Amino acid sequence: MVSALGMTAVLGGCGSTGSSDVTLKLVAADYGDSAASSSQKYWDKLAKEYESQHSGVKVEVSVYSWNDVDAKVKEMVDAGHAPDLAQIGAYADYAAADKLYPASDLLSIRTQADFLSQLADAGEWKHVQYGIPFAASTRVLFYNKTLFAKAGIAPPTTWSELAADAKALKDKGVKYPYALPLGPEEAQAETMQWLLSGGNGYTDDIGTYTIDSAQNVQTFSWLKDELVGKGLTGPVAPGKLNRAAAFAAFADGQVGMLNGHPTLIQQAGKKGVQFGMVPMPGRTGKAKAAMGVTDWMMGFKQNGHAKQIGDFLDFVYSEKNVLAFSHEYGLLPVTGSASNTMSDSGSAQDKDLHPFLDQLPTSQLYPVGKTSWAAVSVAVKKDIGQAVAPDGSPSGILTRLQATATTADSGSASAG
């Protein structure tokens, strides 16, 4: 998964005004991992079905990899050629620049009411929803059942149990007892899951950054002293271990346990790894919350197609289409109707997603409504690995990141 989540979307047009046709342009991210699974196929099929029911509307979809899609949309907007719709990783900068329609100007009341509330709330900038959740994911602790059986251990429910399990796995020669990917690819995710399991997070309940809180310093001090310092995280320094490499090592049977999202189910399953999934342990019991991630759909105001955009989105977010996307890419639905259907389903594919689905209503998302988050995320990816290095200072690194966040926050506030 390359985005926060990993998903693709392409959108199209709808309803005609008068006798003239309308072409809706959608730029979407690719959640597939090959040409055969490209999101372009999903969206082309959806657009064709929509066009067959709306003679005055064409939907043009352009799908780009997650490495390129955010930059592509920015380039289009900067050049004065914004798409009608974009399905990408972040919306706040465009909302702050007054480029987007509020969701209430686009969606029917029924569609708006169907979104899971904490995902819809995360789409707000200055208390107005501009970001429309598109697909979601949470994290759970994956563990290798074969390696656990050989070590005679059970899945952990507390940090001390996790450390004891990791030591037992190391004693049996497991290469990565607990894989801790704090490398630059997706360190902000692993960091957030640990901050939540330690009882805090990136921000407090009113959205103020609390990166250097006493709880967060304690969390990273524990990681440095009890896991990394005791050689329980494997041969690659956490600051150099990327999430994709950690997932690949798990699929190769070299990892005892790690935080993972739904795509790891297929990746490990293809290699025949016998694995289990449990909630991430907290310091002394259940973690404060699981980390949730969602990607975003948004409608740009430039071309004035609010009615058409909204009608197409009501189609995109029908229960049938939301479930089809979730099934295609192993992601969680963002609507209550589709979530309930998946929860009640007895299919093997849906049952695999139930541990993630169960966590979604209480999960905590990145502070995506802050225009400063992009800069903070970059700084975390670059620096957090140093906090657990042999000569690293958890309090020093977290204090530095807090200063970066505070500066970015005040800068974005004045700019907004």
Kindly state whether residues 256 and 329 are assigned to the same domain. no
- Band of pLDDT at residue 46, cut at 50, 70 and 90: very high
Q: What is the pLDDT of residue 219?
A: 98
Kindly state whether residues 157 and 272 are assigned to the same domain. yes
Digit-coded pLDDT (tens) for 286-315: 888 899 999 999 999 999 999 999 999 999
Kindly state whether residues 236 and 306 are assigned to the same domain. no
What is the pLDDT averaged over residues 25-39? 89
Asked whether residue 8 is domain-assigned, the answer is no
Asked whether residue 7 is domain-assigned, the answer is no
Kindly state whether residues 344 and 379 are assigned to the same domain. no
What is the pLDDT averaged over residues 374-394? 95
- Band of pLDDT at residue 20, cut at 50, 70 and 90: low
Tell me which residue of 88, 93, 173 sits closest to 134, measured CA to CA.
Answer: 88
Asked whether residue 34 is domain-assigned, the answer is yes
Q: What is the pLDDT of residue 123?
A: 95
pLDDT at 215 over 80: yes
Average pLDDT of the chain, as a whole number: 92
Q: Could you list the residue range(s) of the whole structural domain that residue 45 is in?
A: 22-137+292-365
Digit-coded pLDDT (tens) for 264-280: 998 999 999 999 999 99
Question: Residue 121 corresponds to which amino acid?
Answer: D
pLDDT at 23 over 90: yes
pLDDT at 240 over 50: yes
Q: What is the pLDDT of residue 109?
A: 97
Asked whether residue 269 is domain-assigned, the answer is yes
Q: What is the pLDDT of residue 3?
A: 46
pTM of the model: 0.84
What is the pLDDT averaged over residues 352-377? 91
- Band of pLDDT at residue 388, cut at 50, 70 and 90: very high
DSSP category for residue 286: B
Kindly state whether residues 265 and 181 are assigned to the same domain. yes
Q: What is the pLDDT of residue 355?
A: 92
SS3 label, residue 412: helix
Kindly state whether residues 75 and 150 are assigned to the same domain. no
Tell me which residue of 112, 152, 155, 400 sits closest to 281, measured CA to CA.
Answer: 155
Kindly state whether residues 36 and 114 are assigned to the same domain. yes
How many other C-beta atoms are found inside a 10 Å radius of the C-beta of residue 98?
9
CATH code (residue 347): 3.40.190.10
Q: What percent of the chain has pLDDT over 70?
A: 94
Digit-coded pLDDT (tens) for 132-148: 999 999 999 999 999 99
Asked whether residue 5 is domain-assigned, the answer is no
For the beta sheet containing 275-278, the strands, ordered from the edge strand earlier in sequence to the opposite edge, are: 176-178, 255-260, 140-144, 275-278
Kindly state whether residues 274 and 398 are assigned to the same domain. yes
Asked whether residue 358 is domain-assigned, the answer is yes
Asked whether residue 302 is domain-assigned, the answer is yes
pLDDT at 174 over 90: yes
Kindly state whether residues 184 and 44 are assigned to the same domain. no
Kindly state whether residues 256 and 192 are assigned to the same domain. yes
8 A C-beta contact, residue 89 and residue 296: yes
Asked whether residue 50 is domain-assigned, the answer is yes
Q: How many domains does the chain have?
A: 2
Q: What is the pLDDT of residue 10?
A: 38
- Band of pLDDT at residue 15, cut at 50, 70 and 90: very low
Cβ contacts of residue 46 below 8 Å, gap of 6+? 10, 12, 315, 316, 321
Kindly state whether residues 361 and 378 are assigned to the same domain. no
What is the pLDDT averaged over residues 243-260? 96
Distance linking the first and last C-alpha atoms of the chain: 32
Kindly state whether residues 278 and 165 are assigned to the same domain. yes
Q: What percent of the chain has pLDDT over 90?
A: 81
Q: What angle do CA 322, 326, 328 make, to 5 degrees?
A: 115
Tell me which residue of 330, 324, 373 sits closest to 355, measured CA to CA.
Answer: 330
Q: What is the pLDDT of residue 393?
A: 97
The span from the CA of 46 to the CA of 87, in Å, is 15
- Band of pLDDT at residue 413, cut at 50, 70 and 90: low
Q: What is the pLDDT of residue 18?
A: 41
